[in-house]
Amino acid sequence: MQTLDEILKSRRDTRHFTSDEVPDAVIQKALQAGHWAPSVGLTDATKYYLIKSDEIKKAVKELFLDYDTKAANQTDSEEQKEDYKALKLEAIQEAPLGLVICYDRSVLNNFTIGTVGSNEAIKFSSVCAAQNIWLSLTEQGYSMGWISILNYYQFKQLLGLPEHIEPLGYFCVGKPATDYDNQPMLQQLNWKQKSEVPFVEEILVPVTYPESLQETKQIHTESRSIKDALQHKIDNKTKPLGSLGILEKLAQQIGELFQTLEPKIFQPNIVVFAADHGIAVHGVSAYPQDVTRQMVTNFLEGGAAINVFCKQNSISLSIVDAGVNYDFPPNANLISTKIAKGTQSFLHGPAMSDSELSLCFAKGAAVVNTIAKTASNCIGFGEMGIGNTSTASVLMSVITKIPLEDCVGLGTGVSDAKLIQKQKILQAAVDNYSGSQELDEKLAYFGGFEIIQMASGMLAAHENNMLILVDGFICSVAFLIAHQKNPEIIKNAVFSHCSAEQAHVKLLDYLGVQPVLQLGLRLGEGTGCAIAFPIIESAVAFLNEMASFDSAGVNNK
């Protein structure tokens, strides 16, 4: 019998198998070893599916071959490409048994000890199970190979796995046909050499971050001549004074912002920041936390309301993962500014660290600065995150001193009974706060990754002299934070609508601003910005194209 050290040092990932069947007793013993692996919070989130069907194996292999071709094309070196194609990276049809090791994300819908710091710990538990299975199989004279070069979406569809079940990959199980000279196959074939010893380094001092990554804001001097000239131009259009209402105010604001009598909107862009919130585990939302991840996927696939309205109005759409509790596969349409996989619950402690707060300010600004470089001068802000109305309500209350009960609403649509429970939980969180009255300390304690990144993005938009479109309640709280940092930002902002969230009108009144629309919206995603955008275009159009009394020969008396 091999010693444990011998097993650990031997070939880990088998790609060549004999045709010998795997006895049921062998696989059951191995799966039991997987079940004994460490499981965060004893969630038992790991699930196993056995594949013996030749038809399924063939279909899985076709999925592999499709992605294997794409993998080979990732290198520009023809020599490396040919070397890659020569490697045997699968044994899907040759291995007598297929095993799919998965983890069940639905366990996160309930509070689980051990997932607070990293909600993806359930995935790590499943990896531990995979390692135990490999150890057990090797001890019994068998082995397995891990296939991860797959389109996981198609893989789940092929196997009929439920939406909440996430596979680690496809594992080939059988009796190894070679010992690979007791070394990894890639090393044996000189593809890559494994270092002899592990990397180990002791960290002796903590890493420090700057207090703030925000630059000092400059106050722009208002041009009185432009202001008066714009007002004169608006008043002399062929209409009674003030008859275009809020359109006249918008035209004046946009002209002053861009310092021109003929303003134009270029490359409008709406950015949706998404993140998860630790407070959600206390049942403050009508939806489970996993909906955040599902909706981000919906945004990327073009199926959400914001996709429809942006397409309708020719607005570019950017989706940002600011801290969603999920590892999204690589996607060119997803901007990753992930700080962590969701904040901590602020019921008994801070939602984020000071360094995470600083990173939020840095990363949110970077997203907007990149968009500004495309010559965009108009940017809207939207959000997605289960539990973020609770976060926004608390932030509004602690910043404005408005009573919390006036800041808490239905959010995604909780029942009246759940609303009372939500108010009690949030009030308890506020009562538990013993920190200072400094803004940044409150933001770190109660903040959300997407809310802080939006606030930072708005400040960056102000510095880039962009028109800022603010969506509903949560985005208005982000603006409140930005306004606390730099009151001059109010000149850039257009508040697209007043939402059905009961605190929104109070916040708009606090800021002394008037929304463009009153449609009873409470969807988020930046939808209010997209819907209000044609009205902003109308304000610019009448200012630039409508005749004056003089040019039209119309009497203005």
Active site residues: 525
Nearest to 364 by CA among 346, 379, 374: 379
Neighbouring residues of 258: CB distance < 8 A, sequence distance ≥ 6: 264, 377, 465
HEC-encoded secondary structure of 281-349: HHCCCCCCCHHHHHHHHHHHHCCCHHHHHHHHCCCEEEEEEEECCCCCCCCCCEEECCCCCCCCCCCCC
Compute the distance between CA of residue 37 and CA of residue 17 in angstroms, rounded to an integer.
26
Nearest to 380 by CA among 479, 301, 448, 285: 479
Nearest to 116 by CA among 357, 350, 444: 350
- Helix, strand or coil for residue 462? helix
Nearest to 252 by CA among 462, 491, 458: 491
| E runs forming strands in 394-492 | 467-470
Amino acid at 271: V
Compute the distance between CA of residue 289 and CA of residue 19 in angstroms, rounded to an integer.
45
Measured between alpha carbons, how far is residue 177 from residues 14, 98, 186 in Å?
9, 16, 16
Nearest to 259 by CA among 227, 218, 217, 219: 227
Neighbouring residues of 537: CB distance < 8 A, sequence distance ≥ 6: 265
Nearest to 180 by CA among 57, 64, 87: 87
Task: Name the phi and psi angles at 48, rounded to 5.
Answer: -125, 140
